[in-house]
Amino acid sequence: MPITFYGYPQCGTCRKAKQWLDARGIAYEAVNLVTDPPDKETLRALIEKSGLPVRKFFNTSGQRYRELGLKEKLPSMTDEEMLELLASDGKLIKRPIVTDGERVTVGFDEATFARVWGTGA
């Protein structure tokens, strides 16, 4: 299955992740998280396949996260409420999210990318 790369063009981490994939000839379809965020059901599937808790999908260093005071609010929110919030604003989503429909990585860590997406070159 083709790889989908959910990112944000102005994000430095996303650019590094794309460079890593490009250098290894790994093709992907880029989706802009801000203009075309995944819907709630897509997010639910990504979260389930990742094996990570919903809170790991929040961009905790983002401006919107701080503006909304989510550090204080998330602990008392249900997974469903967090999912609604993520689906409502792509800037709240940690990036990049890379998936082939089975495997999912969140953020960019070179060792994780090498393990999950292949060492290539």
The mean of the pLDDT values for the chain is 94
Predicted confidence (pLDDT) per residue in 65-112, tens digit:
999 999 999 999 999 999 999 999 999 999 999 999 999 999 999 999
At residue 120 the predicted structure's pLDDT band, cuts being 50, 70 and 90, is very low
Contact 99, 26 (CB under 8 A): no
Q: Which pTM value belongs to this model? A: 0.92
Strand partners, 30: 5
Contact 7, 91 (CB under 8 A): no
Mind listing the domains of the chain with CATH numbers? 3-117 (3.40.30.10)
Contact 33, 90 (CB under 8 A): yes
pLDDT of 121 reads 40
Please determine, for residue 119, whether its predicted confidence score (pLDDT) is greater than 90. no
pLDDT of 60 reads 95
Helix (H) or strand (E) holding 47: helix 40-50
Contact 37, 87 (CB under 8 A): yes
Contact 23, 121 (CB under 8 A): yes
To the nearest whole percent, how much of the chain has pLDDT over 90? 95
